[in-house]
């Protein structure tokens, strides 16, 4: 559920790596910038998740809206993920990511 949203959050820091993933997935990189390829890769990951039945949002997974702040706080405590992330997280950024994943909003400016 979270991968497309995490990829969107990290796009600015890892667009080249996302482009490589997109090419490995068979996306056409001709006439596309690195940023465009990163976006296409995020879209393709979302499409693949849908095709295999992965729930697209935290809301559809059943996360109550009143647990979003708690979820963001807990996520910041997962050191192996936070320390290895290409872009730093603080509580506001994590809260934005969790909200986007709850709403199913990959276009949000919060990320």
**pTM of the shown model:** 0.94
**Is residue 108 in a domain?**
no
Helices and strands in the chain: count of H runs, count of E runs: 6, 0
**∠ CA 91-81-79, rounded to 5°:** 75
So what's the pLDDT on residue 109? 72
Q: What is the CATH number of the domain that holds 69?
A: 1.20.1090.10
Q: What is the pLDDT of residues 30-88, one digit of tens each?
A: 999 999 999 999 999 999 999 999 999 999 999 999 999 999 999 999 999 999 999 99
**Is residue 110 in a domain?**
no
Number of domains in the chain: 1
How far is it, in rounded angstroms, from Cα 104 to Cα 47?
13
Domain housing 67: 3-103
So what's the pLDDT on residue 111? 67
How far is it, in rounded angstroms, from Cα 44 to Cα 37?
10
């Amino acid at each position: 559920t979270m991968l497309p949203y995490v990829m969107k959050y990290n796009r600015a820091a890892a667009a080249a790596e996302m482009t490589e993933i997109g090419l490995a997935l068979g996306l056409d990189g001709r006439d596309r910038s690195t940023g465009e390829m990163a976006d296409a890769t995020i879209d393709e990951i979302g499409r693949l998740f849908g095709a295999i039945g992965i729930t697209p949002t935290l809301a559809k997974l059943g996360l109550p809206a009143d647990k979003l702040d708690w979820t963001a706080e807990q996520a910041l405590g997962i050191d192996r993920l936070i320390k290895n992330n290409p872009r730093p997280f603080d509580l506001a950024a994590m809260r934005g990511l969790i909200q986007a994943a709850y709403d199913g909003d990959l276009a949000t400016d919060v990320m």
